[in-house]
Amino acid sequence: MAVKRRNKQQVTRNTLALCLLTAPALAQQVLVQADVAADTLAPRTGPNRRLFGHFYLGYALAAGPAGGSGVALRYGTGSAEAQAGGRLKYRISQTLALTADLRYAFLRYTLAQEAGKIVPSPALHEAEQLVFHQLQSEVGLRLNVGERGNSVGRYLDLLAWGSWAFAREYRADEVPPPGASSLQTTVGNPPYLRALVGGLGARLGQNRYSLTARYRLSSPWTTDYSAWPALPRWLVGVELGLF
């Protein structure tokens, strides 16, 4: 009988020890896991937050007629502007926001070689181009449309922009002499190309994709050449947001 009593006491002690060892493990079991900081602090950035910035790429074709006889373009990719820049959006309300852009733009006009041209001279060439390397700034008023959650959504931007052409070029290609592959004349910063221009525009978009149209208010020519017919004032294209 004494042996049975000791065995029973030993089993009881072993059971108590097992319960004590497993109690901390049960107490540490994760039932709900949460990031306290993320749960208590609202995000301040994002496509539909008060502040949102992103990079973008753009490409636009020259459109519309020239300002008179004496200048004509070869339309299409030969007369176009490529852009790369950054945009900051500040949300005023769910409907209204402000945008501010800073970008580099490469603009090229390819002049048609037709009899009667006067810009920049009556001489005809194999090809003739006016090239602008530009730093542009732009501000916009954004009108948001519909529900979008934390995304850019659908919008219409009304724009005002300015451009500084820090480098300007005139290029003329000629028939190369025998043994040469090309012959090009380049004039840097010719006196007839204006450095500062500006205009208005609009952007219609959804999330990262948008259609753009910009109108140049300023003449591309300097004061001494203001009598020349103006180049087409419209640039119509697309943009791709990088976010």
pTM for the predicted model, two decimal places: 0.79
> What letter represents residue 117's amino acid?
K
* pLDDT tens per residue, range 39-74: 444 556 678 789 999 999 999 999 999 888 889 999
What tens-digit pLDDT sequence spans the chain (243 residues)?
A: 544 455 555 655 665 555 555 555 545 555 555 554 444 445 566 787 899 999 999 999 999 998 888 899 999 999 999 999 999 999 999 899 999 999 999 999 999 999 889 999 999 999 999 999 999 999 999 999 987 778 899 999 999 999 999 999 999 999 888 888 889 999 999 999 999 999 999 999 999 999 999 999 999 999 999 999 999 999 999 999 999
* pLDDT tens per residue, range 86-106: 999 999 998 999 999 999 999
Please give the domain boundaries of the chain with CATH numbers for all domains: 37-242 (2.40.160)
Task: Record the tokens describing residue 70, joined without a space.
Answer: 């004496």
